[in-house]
Structure 1
Amino acid sequence: MTTDFLPQITGSFANPASENPTVAMIEAAYKHHNLHFRYLNCEVTSENLKSAVEGAKAMGWTGFNCSIPHKVDVIEYLDGLGESAKLIGAVNTIVKRGDQWIGENTDGKGFVKAMKEVVDPKGKKITLFGAGGAARAVAVEMALAGAKEILIVNRSKERGNVVAKLVSQNTGAQSSYVPWTQNYSIQPDSDIVINATSIGLFPNVDDKLDINFDSIFPQMVVADGIHNPPLTHFLKTAISKGCKTVNGLQMLVNQGVIGVKYWTNVDVDPTVMHQKLTHVLGID
């Protein structure tokens, strides 16, 4: 591929696919806005990660995404981290700023942006299911957005406590670990309830959260980080109870919008990306 007409390109360190949803939606945004950028999908093994990063720098890339399992290991090859990425301890977006390569994390940022379209997290009490990488990113960003309290509901006490302490010690929000017991009942004064686990993700769409669904009340805003399907069992149940909801599809689009902004300094139209993403996923 020639880059004579492309002053900068972006790349994705991920597994190649015939039509990767993220690649498709970002390429659609580039085309729509007539941006001379390309978004490439590259498979990189752990032992070749350092060489891949050096290659991106040598080829004049403006940045790249980094997926599992490289989100933590890539940090040692960067020059610095953004505020939330530093707290989260993982990056998924790298951007060139001057002569430095800075790691950012758009996972939680995309989530908060989608959430704010429904409700402002500021001053809210949040129940968050999960304590993995996605939950960690969401917890940090919701705290930085002004959440008052975040309950980390998780099976593993050790992992749950790590996330709770991270939030409490580094942000203005209070956070505590709550054991995820069988048929868990959501605390009734929760303003926002979030699933940050993979439960219900395609193809296991019939999997259900082990919670008491009668503890979901209409005044709660319910969100699910899963983008496929966009309407999980969790969200369908919340809708049936009269709750406002936020789905993972818009969160994924928002992550892409934020990433493109980092690389190009252009605010792209999220509608274009959303339409392409739903088409590729076969849900339009």
Structure 2
Amino acid sequence: MRLYGLIGYPLEHSYSPVYFNEKFGNLGIGDCEYRLFPLNNLESFKHLPLDYPDLCGLNITIPYKEALMPFLDKLTAQANQIQAVNAIRILRKGNNIEMLGHNTDAPAFLRSLLPHLESHHNKALIFGSGGAAKAVSYVLRMLRISYLIVSRQKNISNNEMVSYSDLTPSLINEYPLLINCTPVGMFPHTEEMLPIPFEGISPEHLIYDLIYNPLVTRFMAIAQQRGAKTVNGLQMFKYQADLSWDFWNEAEDF
């Protein structure tokens, strides 16, 4: 049996077990299982590979995409550049266990964003400053899209960061690409909403919410009412899952 799973906290929103276990069935793979590992502290993570000797790979979600990095033995070049991981390959050689961290969020975000991107979407606001936001900002730099990071705690030494209190309708209007990298509005807290001046949103805006449960967040719904185009995170989720599967099964040691 080969075991894979998702670590984070909380995890009741996740589609990962359904997606992967259906994938295993479709591929005719009978010796694989994917399960949730809701860890409310990182001390528990240290013991997972020992407690589950069949564990071959993990996905990582909120709030551990950055915090887990010191526990890993190696990073791929992309994970090192982004400084966040969402996939871990567990290599077992005799009694030795080596954990290799990778980032599949960035290529998944890029692939899911490009079909919706128009030439005027040349400035972005990224809501959130965690691991997902790091992958998103990495992609925007690749695309040469300028951006500001909107965070609850403004870092005055970072000129790419502003606080929610800095947001005005004119600033929102100036940035036609809005990307939510926070869990605000995610199941089960679907009534929550980003504290932004929605009157600045226009039909020229593209709203990308990385949340996929629910498929339409309040952020997206209000933006739709103002004529904006909206995209949820479901396609990105599927892409990163498939890329994680490829990473877990590659022969290369990086």
Q: TM-score, normalised by structure 1?
A: 0.70
User: Separation in 2 of the partners of 1:123 and 1:210?
Assistant: 22
AA of the residue aligned to 1:26: F
- Counterpart check, 1:34 vs 2:60: no
CA RMSD of aligned residues (A): 3.4
- After superposition, give the CA deviation of every residue in 1:102-150 in whole Å (9 maximum; x if it has no partner): 2012334433322123127998221112223332332223323x13301
Greater share of residues in strand: 2
1:199-257 deviation per Cα after TM superposition (whole angstroms, max 9, x unaligned): 22233323332222221121221111222221112212222333222112332222212
Select 1:196's aligned residue among 172, 181, 206: 181
Separation in structure 2 between the aligned mates of residue 42 and residue 208 of structure 1, nearest angstrom? 27
How far apart, in 2, do the equivalents of 1:194 and 1:249 lie?
14
| Alignment pair present for 1:180 and 2:164 | yes
C-alpha distance in 1, partners of 2:102/2:138?
Answer: 13
Q: Give the whole-Å Cα distance in 1 for the aligned partners of 2:116 and 2:83.
A: 28
The 1-side partners of 2:83 and 2:206 are apart by 28
Post-superposition Cα deviations, 1:160-197, rounded to whole Å, max 9, x if no partner, equal 855x6xxxxxxxxxxx2233227632343423111222
Is 1:217 the equivalent of 2:185?
no
1:81 corresponding residue in structure 2? 75
SS of 2:214's partner is coil
**Aligned 1:47-196 pairs, distance under 5 A:** 47-54=43-50, 59=54, 61-68=55-62, 70-95=64-89, 101-119=99-117, 124-144=122-142, 146-158=143-155, 176-181=160-165, 184-185=168-169, 186-196=171-181
Amino acid at match of 1:86: N
Mapped partners of 1:237, 1:19: distance in 2: 22
AA aligned to 1:231 is: V
Q: How many residues align structurally?
A: 243
Is contact 2:65–2:84 with CA below 8 Å preserved after alignment? yes
Query: How far apart are residue 27 of structure 1 and its match?
Result: 0.8
* Superposed CA offset, 1:50-80 (max 9, x none): 3323566x54x44222345554454344332
Structure 2: which 5+ residue stretches go unaligned?
none
Amino acid at match of 1:117: P
